[in-house]
Amino acid sequence: MEATPQCTNPTHYDSFDDSENGTLLPGVPDDLAQRCLSSLSPSLIFSVCHPWRRLLYFPSFPPFFSLYVLSSPLHGPTTTNPVPGGVDPQNSIEFFSFDPISSSWTPLPTPPQNPPLHLLHRHPSFLSRNLPIQSLTVSNHLVLIAATTHKLFPALSSPLVFHPESNSWFYGPQISTPRRWCVTGSAQGVIYLASGVGSHYQGDIARSMERWDLNKKRESWGWKNKAPLKDGRFSREEVVAVGYRGKLCMVNVKGNAVKEGAVYDVELDKWEEMPQGMVAGWNGPAATMDEDAIYVIDEVKGRLSKYDGEKDCWEKVIELEQLKRAEQITAGRGKICAISAKGERIIVVDVRDKPAKFWEVAPPPGMEVVAVHVLPRMISRQH
């Protein structure tokens, strides 16, 4: 989450009605005023006056970054789109964005319902285990790529994508074999999908690897087969492939259990063995910062560490009681955001500070967090 916007060169400036909203800077044209104000802290802009506050959420103004979460009701499933006569029990996921400037949660627009969206986080037959909903961020988009329906089938035949800067959802190209419990990750703006289980286990699917370049023109979208894995050991549960210096790094088991690591070179389309030090210290959820650094949280000790590629070892950043039992993390804008306490707590660690500073963000009321991401703020004119 970043409070400092990245300056851009907008080609269009939204006009302000002086009689209703007031000017941004008296005597200064609005387009020039926007350029001047873009260098200020968003928190300062938000606190000065209503015209400045509204400016923060205009498409032409450089965006600050916010938290985005997939969440599930604490007391049973609900849906963002209620069905007649009650709640749809097949959909237990809702989407929210946390604005760090106003310290408020806002629900995302309702995802498209054609085809109907069924994303199940809990199933009455598996009370002790939550069902994974696999999501990632790519090129400032939130991408949902794999989940499970109430009948324990793959929930998504195509990736479901949200673009914050246009407040819109859309579907990506159809996946050759929809799946769950798979490998998902991204590198250099390209989405990778590997292994997993479809409607039933198939060895060729469990070893498969595909990629989709989100940055291509829509008419050129499609999944392209890549070098397969050597076996199906990465289809046992959800696996996060972490982008790191032109490679995707992953382990096949969570936590401190004995695990197998794998590294995929995206340029050479080649699988490699994971360095021993990397796999030995990969004892919890991991995330990449700008694809140049890997961070991992030891979910038993609550220790956040950064990988040193030259020494093949993990260096401690901070150890916190609040990070114990961390379930998922994301990294962006110099901060690590972690879900802990069974989704009832979001811990943010600023790793740029020495020593690292941290604070807590409360989830949306009545919700537990399933996944957290960092993306540009949504556009809104209602501020």
73: Cα within 13 Å, side-chain hemisphere:
13
- 11-55 tens-digit pLDDT: 333 333 333 456 788 878 888 888 888 878 788 888 888 888 888
Q: Enter the tokens of residue 17.
A: 């009605």
Instruction: Specify the pTM.
Output: 0.86
- DSSP designation for 62: P
Name the fold adopted by 40-76+87-376.
Answer: Neuraminidase (2.120.10)
Across residues 333-354, what is the average pLDDT?
94
Q: What is the pLDDT of residue 172?
A: 97
Q: Could you state, in order of their start, the residue ranges of all structural domains in the chain? A: 40-76+87-376
Q: Residue 371 CB: number of other CB atoms within 10 A?
A: 23
- Given a contact cutoff of 8 angstroms between Cβ atoms, the answer to whether 14 and 58 are in contact is yes
Residues 6+ apart with CB under 8 A from 66: 1, 97, 98, 99, 100, 164, 374, 375, 376, 377, 378
DSSP letters for 109-151: PPPP-SSPP---S--TT-TT-PPP-EEEEETTEEEEEE-B-TT
Query: Strand, helix or coil at 78?
Result: coil
Which residue type does 109 have? P
- Given a contact cutoff of 8 angstroms between Cβ atoms, the answer to whether 181 and 163 are in contact is no
- 318-334 tens-digit pLDDT: 999 999 999 999 999 99
**What would you measure as the largest C-alpha separation in the chain, in angstroms?**
69
- 272-301 tens-digit pLDDT: 999 999 999 999 999 999 999 999 999 999
> Which of 249, 260, 252, 356 is CA-nearest to residue 304?
356
Least confident stretch, 117-126, 149-158, 273-282, 333-342: 117-126
Q: What is the pLDDT of residue 270?
A: 97
> Which of 336, 343, 341, 345 is CA-nearest to residue 374?
336
